[in-house]
Structure 1
């Protein structure tokens, strides 16, 4: 493999396919699983772990040492590609395959989860009522523009995750107790 290839492309496609299969399996399992906060959290953790593999592959290409900049590129590329695949999948599924009852179920589960979270964090009842009213009045249709906006929001979230993961896997090469970046050229 080339020294400067980006394994994030390969991992992005693999992770995107894995997340699509994950979503199909959860869809088949039923609406309670489809809208489960616990399963969404597990999916996010699996997504992050798979994203690390791209950074670790790049680290291996570089001989076991990798800086932050070299680590974040393949990890973030993985998230860019896989979340684009999921955005397209969600648009197609919610536009052409789901019925309106599923949108209502989505709204119902989101309102229940929001109320539970707000109560868990001891939010005032007025704030809970306001949030629930906003959610009840929101438009849950998936359009091209809403799918694109969700994709951009996910990119922001995944950039932060990528940065954290890049810090975790980075390993600078040390020469005589001084890192390569701090070594003076003769």
Structure 2
């Protein structure tokens, strides 16, 4: 049974990785500014959670309609982990090896969006200047260290969501 859960989760993780990577590649190929749009981030966030939930549902079905909290979380976690790892690898390849200039351009776009957002909230100019200096001096978001840090933060966030979803989705067989 454990192998079934892991194989289902791995398959959905690959599907998720393809979806996330496709979004990254399409945005890279068409318009880098898409990667700074909140709607894209929200859409991908929802896609990650939905595929994690579908993975739990498929695992539950494969187990005869019952799934423990541990198995539900395992299914969700493997799906999310594999999906975001695939996207991270694709992003590192694109922005560190294929086109490092695109990473610089993307960083500039993020800085511009951040400054515009701060101004829209009437932030003091000295605070904006300080934030600008920090953003300009920060390493690329596609540097290996930054990517690892980002992956860990994402895993924590998605794990909390996964724990809640697993708690809701678990169903134990009362006859056993």
TM-score range, shorter chain: 0.7 to 0.9
Rg bigger for which structure?
Answer: 1
Aligned partners of 2:94 and 2:100 also within 8 Å: no
| Local SS of the residue matching 1:5 | helix
Deviation at 1:154, TM superposition (A): 2.2
1:39: which partner in 2? 40
1:111: which partner in 2? 111
Matches within 5 A, 1:88-107: 88-100=89-101, 102-107=102-107
Q: Return the alpha-carbon distance in structure 2 between the equivalents of residues 166 and 105 of structure 1.
A: 40
TM superposition score normalised by structure 2: 0.81
CA 1:123 to 1:53, structure 2 compared with 1: closer, same or farther past 3 Å? farther
Residue 162, structure 1, aligned to residue 162, structure 2: yes
2:133: which partner in 1? 133
Aligned residues: 173
Aligned partners of 2:95 and 2:142 also within 8 Å: yes
TM superposition score normalised by structure 1: 0.77
Q: Return the alpha-carbon distance in structure 1 between the equivalents of residues 26 and 77 of structure 2.
A: 26
CA 1:145 to 1:137, structure 2 compared with 1: closer, same or farther past 3 Å? closer
Deviation at 1:80, TM superposition (A): 1.1
Aligned partners of 1:3 and 1:62 also within 8 Å: no
Matches within 5 A, 1:36-115: 36-100=37-101, 102-115=102-115
1 or 2, which has the higher helix percentage? 2
Structure 2 regions of 5+ residues with no counterpart?
none
Aligned partners of 2:10 and 2:78 also within 8 Å: yes
Q: Return the alpha-carbon distance in structure 1 between the equivalents of residues 164 and 61 of structure 2.
A: 19
Deviation at 1:17, TM superposition (A): 1.7
